[in-house]
Chains A and B, each alone.
Chain A
Amino acid sequence: MSTLRTEEMTLNMGPQHPSTHGVLRFVIRADGEVMREAVPDVGYLHRSIEKIAEKVGYHGFMPYTDRVDYVCAMFTNQGWAMASERLAGIEVPRRGEYCRVIAAELNRIASHLISVGTMGMDIGAMTPFTHALREREMINDLIEELCGARLTFNYMRIGGVAWDLPPGWREKALAYLDHFDPILDEYNSLISYNKIYVERLANVGVITPEEAISYNLVGPNLRACGIKWDLRKDIPYSVYPDFEFDVPVGEGRWGTLGDSMDRYMVRIMEMKESSRILRQALQNLPSGPVLAKVPRNFKPPKGECQVRIESARGDMGWYVVSDGTGYPWRVHVRTGSFAAMGIVQKLSRGLMIADLVTLIASLDVIAPEIDR
């Protein structure tokens, strides 16, 4: 029997496509529904944030950091603040650190909610998305009360945070957590254990632990491969040593270790851990100032440093070179999405077109974070 002669088709997915989470482009070579390869083409959202940093100074760059990753802007704020503090050797007041952790962990839940919600939407289930966004709206309300913004927060400052928690906010946040914990179970029974959902995600886009490290995957993507590594636990920063929490890792319960389902489940479990951290932080909030004395004309001494923090998309590295003036000489952000996009081309071989969509969603790629 002679084999059927087929022809390869080149497909252009993006930059405007509903499931590319921003402005991403893939050039797909496909044979019918099966992909030979998908080559990512990034850069449509490049706003030269690293160049802007060299022009606006240390304090002035803080609002720009929000735009590096607008889904979890608290972490980019924190990364920049911590890098500047490390350069100048500034100690942040304890209450300031707690405020940072509270804001950041709330933001992590919000970011993971977006991630798991869009995951459902990419597989065609609209309901989980609206349910996830409903919860995220409440977090946005809380954060709005905290810093006046809902998306690009600009909450943190070099040396602490801009404002203390408003009166009554703590109780509201605790009430929200009481509401949120059962919601997560409801969400799981709504979609996570759905047969079709598991079938679509399990055994798709399997990443081995060696590959994950070699491709420098970070955060939930790395933990889904079974590597128990969380910067909050392993290289603790801020006040994270004060809190008790677990680091969820992928188990391969639904398919192979390191598949899309593991990445999804790690995010779900991380929300629970974030909620645990938040409870502890809100209950043990120390008193005192929230902002250290930092000169308005901030000039860190000559030197360079790298700061790594665990953002919602994983280990975010801020490499800052100072030349002793009020403007950083060079800033480089190493982000989780950038690394995750690097592995897409390799994983895409032999997948179906519908699986590429779930693969991108499971890697939780945010376009501005890739392009900066």
Chain B
Amino acid sequence: MTRNRINIEPLYLVFSFLGGLVLLFLVAPLAGMVLNSSGQELVQAGTDSEVQRSIWLTLWTSMAGTMLLAIAAVPFAYLLARKEFPLKTLVLAVVNLPIVIPHSAAGIALLGFISRDSLVGGAGEKAGIHFVGGAGGIMVAMAFVSLPFLITSARDGFAMVPERLEKAAMTLGASPARVFVTVSLPLAWRAVLSGLILMWARGLSEFGAVAVVAYHPIVTPVLIYERFGAFGLKYARPVAVIFLAICLIFFVAFRWVAAGVGAPAWLSRQRAEAGDIHAAR
């Protein structure tokens, strides 16, 4: 026995074992699904034009919905991080509402909101946007259930930016708009980007709300469900595997890009300073 042998605390051994179980629980079903699909099945599903159409539709609607909503949600997140206003707690609760309500119920609520005879739906109809049974409706449903992820992440990011930097910028003559664009947003950018990725990932995996609002044109999660219902597990599985692979590729790529944006060195220092400031107050 050597002197520098690490003493292993039995408790952490137990925790590690439990952690292993959790990981297995997460990975095993996915791995099983992948391993159970033959190459032939995958090729067949991959060349199926309905599958291709649905994957393309899912990807672009989720991205477009995220981008459109971000225009309003990111400034809103800044407001939530920086300003105090009456009923702020209530507003924060409302923002997180989509996380706790069943997504089929969210779909039902949205359907009433965007149907042809509603104010919004009618206006959209006149402008040539068909929400119900159209890409517009899919976007609305995806965005509704995934928006909290963007707002929460962006808000945390803005809260992390030392207020003194914004104040300093203003004393240097910068307008609040310029301060937001040149100081707050760049410094919170990683958190905002991470929020965008989360919102997009959550949106593209949405089934419940989308199925209610726009069953057709069919997005991949709905297609997987439909194939399972009509033809069984064997037919649904290859589609699921292909969709999973594509999502993973995009997700990893975006994460990788996000990690490269901004230098971690100043980020950690800035966080330490933010901590100091809070402590000083």
> Do A and B make up one complex?
no
